[in-house]
Structure 1
């Protein structure tokens, strides 16, 4: 059975930091994807790279240093919006 993918809902960019201090910008939410927070991260090794995070702040395919700080107010707001849109829980 094939699962239909919904387009990512674009939001105003939300800057936040990763646990390693890297700049992260969340630019969209895909309520059909477990890694529902979409955006980019800037790291010393890769520069700006597209990325996605789940509602526990864990980046898909990244290291712990790339996970977002879930204690930030901005993250709580993003997670709340993602839940309202029906995104799967972490």
Structure 2
């Protein structure tokens, strides 16, 4: 069963990780902003390796693991399909 996320809503990193669990939605990147500081925007990139992270976040010129966002809320701004073709 696929876990759904809606735009313009707050989610914790754990909730967003469920979106990518089990290799689902691997063709979708999420554009997000920090719920507490709207100046911080970034892109979530699905991560499927043995690192234990469900996604990486490119924000403010740096790449962070999902664990860097524990305890924070992110707002989904847009869903971007990265399907080839």
**TM-score, normalized by the shorter chain, greater than 0.5:** no
Question: What TM-score does the superposition give when structure 1 sets the normalisation length?
Answer: 0.38
Q: Which has the higher contact order (CA 8 A, sep 6+)?
A: 2
Which has the greater radius of gyration? 1
Question: What TM-score does the superposition give when structure 2 sets the normalisation length?
Answer: 0.40
